Amino acid sequence: MTSTGIGAPVRRREDFRFITGSGQYVDDISRPGQAYAVFVRSPHAHAIIKNIDLSAARSAPGVLGIFTGNDLAADKIGGLICGWMIHSKDGSPMKVGPHPALATEKVRYVGDHVAVVIAESLNQARDAAELVAVDYETLPAAVDVAAAQNPGQPQIHAEAPNNTVYEWHLGDKEAVDAAFAQAAHVTKLELVNNRLIPNAMEPRAAIGEYDRGQDSYTLYTTSQNPHVARLVLSAFVGIAPEHKLRVIAPDVGGGFGSKIFIYAEETVCVWAARKVGRPVKWTADRTEAFLADAHGRDHVTTAELAVDGSGKMLGLRVKTKANLGAYLSTFSSSVPTYLYAPLLSGQYDIPAIYCEVDGVYTNTAPVDAYRGAGRPEATFVVERLVEVAARELGRDPAEFRMQNFIRSFPHQTPVIMTYDIGDYPTCMSKALELADYANFAERKAESERKGLLRGIGFSAYIEACGIAPSKAVGSLGAGVGLWESAEVRVNPVGTVEVLTGSHSHGQGHETTFAQLVSHRLGIPIDQISIIHGDTDKVQMGMGTYGSRSGAVGMSAISKALDKVVAKATKVAARCMEVPEETVDFNDGVFSARGTNKSMAFGEVALQAYVAHKFDSSEIEPGLKEGSFYDPKNFTFPAGVHIAEVEIDPETGVTRIDRWTAVDDFGTIINPMIVEGQVHGGIAQGVGQAMLEGAVYDASGQLLTASYMDYCMPRADDLPSFNVAMTNTPCPSNPLGIKGCGEAGAIAAPPALINAITNALGHENIAMPATPQAIWRAAQSSMRKMAAE
């Protein structure tokens, strides 16, 4: 291992610009002559737009243009799309209503886009936006996902009767029924997976620009996948063909899924740039982010686990209603289906699983992938059921899990997935040791002496990452392939530029990707640059989400590096005048076996460009190679998290006393960065379990639309985390990487709720387990204890 190679905790190369205030986020960019856009948004959850009067706004100072959905339609600008087709049980395609970038006939959630005002200054645009007079006829709203399909509920899209987008299922219903028929014990839970608002710290932003001379557009946008944005805006929305649209996602301040999607705002900005003849900039304020960023989770589930007399799991039955919001966002349909049900086997050998999911429209913001996307929801179902089953059976929850862990690989689950490798018992054993599980009872007694309730909770999660084999996802309804591209450009002086279709918005690719190159080419890391986020530089890519950048993006780089080394070996052989097969490449040096001849990588690069020493009809000059890597399988990171809490029953205040995480991510490129990903994921999972929850009132008003009411995890809400790793290298990709970005957010919520319910002595608490909820639940615990 070199000091900058694979496995080294290399300090991040991107940090200098961030710690000195020199980053370039979209809102930091100022284009000559830029104007400012403000969106007029619906104050109603559901209403007919009877009339929009722009006259007063048009004559306001500084106004350059005001546009509505009719203007988009007149320019034949299409609506936003959902890129994953789901079929219902009966074989019918999902029922999708139109999603215009600016609403035309109806508005369907508070924050829906009605018009855009573009003015010389932001304040002028805001002033004028207040003068846009929209005449609404308000309609009753369907807000609650549990009730939205009921007869008599307001109908949100004519295309989707009973607000039902699909009634989907996966698994073998008969096999599951048979398993339950022979069960010795059934554990049943009603679970709500609370709705979350992603809240990347950088609000979304966009600058659209039109070059009249070139007849081409440029869009600066806060995107996790600029090429997908270009593809959608070109092929579906119809802004401009791809060769006339450049999309740049510069420094992006966090995404967590919310910046995957193609939204109304960037669509309108890039289109309007041509209309007003000026660059058009829009930056969300935090309120807009709350209202109109795609939200996450929001499931209502009934789940049952069947167990035989020995404690062996026999079957799992799950019925979920998934809230998709008022419109189908870019990947929304896939999240509660193919990113959810295939994970319901968890780490366990469960012979029969059946899951039904209804995708439901409501008059709320669109719901789409948020860190973990479907997998946290599945893990919450499985790990709550398993923990409660152990309690009901009087079994130690760790030992009950151990009994049911999958132990041989590959393992085919009853829900699509073939787990390629893992070692679940080792993770569990290590976690038990690090968490000092053996002495938990002592700590609990000590807490009790202080009048406090202590609880411990487990979560043995699995996720499917490295998204995804293109052919496989295509067969499941995906509209795109999920490979990744890379190009390795070796310059004549031996420095290297890597162009990747992955996008870094906090993950540290400029460091980890360069570590791979340094490791493979044996060159110093400062001779390597990683280029991403610009469709004019990187030809094509699928972006960063689903913990795919290591497993898929770096695999593409690895493949391209193979080609670079192969060609450079040929060049070196010609230069050294030795047979190709006698040339070895190690630590940046090509050497001819059995001779004292050698050439440094940089020398070979120069010779490749000089092209004096070889026949150009046999070897092309230059040294640049590319690869499109399509993964063979998903990857399956897994691990065990153990949370331990102490509750003050008098107030409901709950302190997380310790957190242990043991994760198996396969090969680790940079342990410092991987641990950071785990920390952040846990914090978001703790947020879901104890702090965060989007609340709409019955009329569809979002009550948690600022940090005054939406509780973000702060430093004093969290402990330091005890993080460790095990390693079974992934056999499905050349580097053995599984992915680490989402694990914490997936593992944490059930661990914490299991700890809280363990402390309370009953299961009756929902997320977020706020002080009020815990206080109330603790009252019944205390009454129960008193009665005993």
Partner 1 sequence: MYAFDYQRPGSVSEAAALLADGSGAKLLAGGQTLIPTMKQRLASPPLVVDLGGVAELKGIDRAGDRLEIGAMATHAEIAESPVVASAIPGLCQVAEGIGDPHVRNRGTIGGSLANNDPAADYPAAVLALGATLHTNRRGLSADEFFQGLFTTALEEDEILTRISCPVPERFAYAKFPNPASRYAMVGVAVAKGPQGVRVAVTGAGQNGVFRATDMEAALANAFTPDALKGINVDPSLMSTDIHADAPYRAHLVAVMARRAVEAAAA
Partner 2 sequence: MTEVTMTVNGESVSADIAPRTLLSQFLREHLRLTGTHVGCDTSQCGACVVHVDGRAVKSCTALAVSCAGSDVVTIEGLAKDGQLHPMQEAFREHHALQCGYCTPGMIMAAVDIVNRKGTELDERTIREELEGNICRCTGYHNIVKAVAAGAAAMSSGEIRQAAE
- Output 106 or 281, the one with its CB closest to partner 2: 281
One of 27, 71, 112, 127 touching partner 1 (CB under 8 A): 127
Which CB, 472 or 718, lies closer to partner 2?
Answer: 718
* Residue 711 interaction partner, one of partner 1, partner 2, none, beta carbon < 5-8 Å per kind: partner 1
Among 202, 487, 663, 664, binds partner 2 (CB under 8 A): 202
Does 28 participate in binding partner 2 (rule CB under 8 A)? yes
Contact call for residue 770 and partner 1 (CB under 8 A): yes
Q: What distance separates the 2 farthest-apart alpha carbons in the chain?
A: 92
Let me know: does 636 contact 419? Beta carbons within 8 Å: yes
Q: Contact 193/307 with Cβ under 8 angstroms?
A: no
When CB distances are held under 5 to 8 angstroms depending on the partner's kind, the choice from partner 2, partner 1, none that residue 475 binds is: none
Site residues for partner 1, window 409-438 (CB under 8 A)? none
Cα 87 to chain centroid, rounded: 23
Across 238-351, the runs of DSSP E, i.e. the strands, are 245-248, 280-283, 299-307, 313-325
Q: Does 704 contact partner 1 by CB under 8 A?
A: yes
Instruction: Residue 237: name the closest of 70, 73, 454 by CA.
Output: 73
Map residues 279-318 to x or -, x wherever contact with partner 1 holds by CB under 8 A.
Answer: --------x-------------------------------
CB of 689 to partner 1, least distance (A): 13
Q: Are 139 and 154 in contact (CB under 8 A)?
A: yes
Which one of the spans 193-201, 207-215, 376-384, 601-609 is the region binding partner 2 (CB under 8 A)? Answer: 193-201
Question: Which range of residues in 85-93, 451-459, 476-484, 504-512 is near partner 2 by CB under 8 A?
Answer: 504-512
Cβ 162 vs Cβ 334: under 8 Å: no
Q: Give the per-residue SS3 of 213-248.
A: CCCEEEEEECCCCHHHHHHHHHHHHCCCCHHHEEEE
What is the spatial order of strands in the sheet that 299-307 belongs to? 164-171, 352-361, 313-325, 299-307, 185-193
Burial class for 137, CB neighbours closer than 10 Å (0-12, 13-18, 19+): exposed
Please report, for the chain, how many H helices and E strands are present, in that order: 19, 28
Q: Which of 161, 707, 762, 764 binds partner 1 (CB under 8 A)?
A: 707
Q: From the list partner 1, partner 2, none, pick the one residue 771 interacts with, judged by a Cβ distance below 5 to 8 Å according to partner type.
A: partner 1
Q: Interacting stretch for partner 1, rule CB under 8 A, among 121-129, 135-143, 589-597, 600-608? A: 121-129
The H or E element that residue 274 is part of is helix 264-276
Q: Which one of partner 2, partner 1, none is in contact with 252 (Cβ closer than 5 to 8 A by kind)?
A: partner 2
| 712 makes contact with partner 1 (CB under 8 A) | yes
Q: Roughly what angle, to the nearest 10 degrees, separates helices 375-393 and 743-760? A: 30
Considering only residues 472, 718, 766, 782, which one is a binding residue for partner 2 as defined by CB under 8 A? 718
| Among 11, 188, 593, 776, interactor with partner 1 by CB under 8 A | 776
Question: Rounded CA gap, 450 and 460, in Å?
Answer: 31
Identify residues 623-682 at the interface with partner 2 (CB under 8 A): 672-673, 675-676, 679-682
User: Which residues in 308-432 belong to E strands, given as ranges?
Assistant: 313-325, 352-361, 411-412, 418-419
Residues between 642 and 661 with contacts to partner 1, criterion CB under 8 A: 650-652
**Calpha distance 735→467 (Å, rounded):** 15
| Count of residues of this chain found to bind partner 1 when the rule CB under 8 A is applied | 24
Contacts of 119 (CB under 8 A, 6+ apart): 35, 36, 38, 60, 61, 62, 63, 64, 125, 127, 128
Interface residues with partner 2 (CB under 8 A) are 4, 10-25, 27-28, 30, 123, 199-203, 251-254, 256, 285-287, 505-508, 525-526, 672-673, 675-676, 679-684, 706-708, 712-716, 718, 720-721, 744
Binding stretches for partner 1 (CB under 8 A)? 123, 126-127, 130, 287, 650-652, 691, 695, 703-704, 707-712, 717, 770-772, 775-776
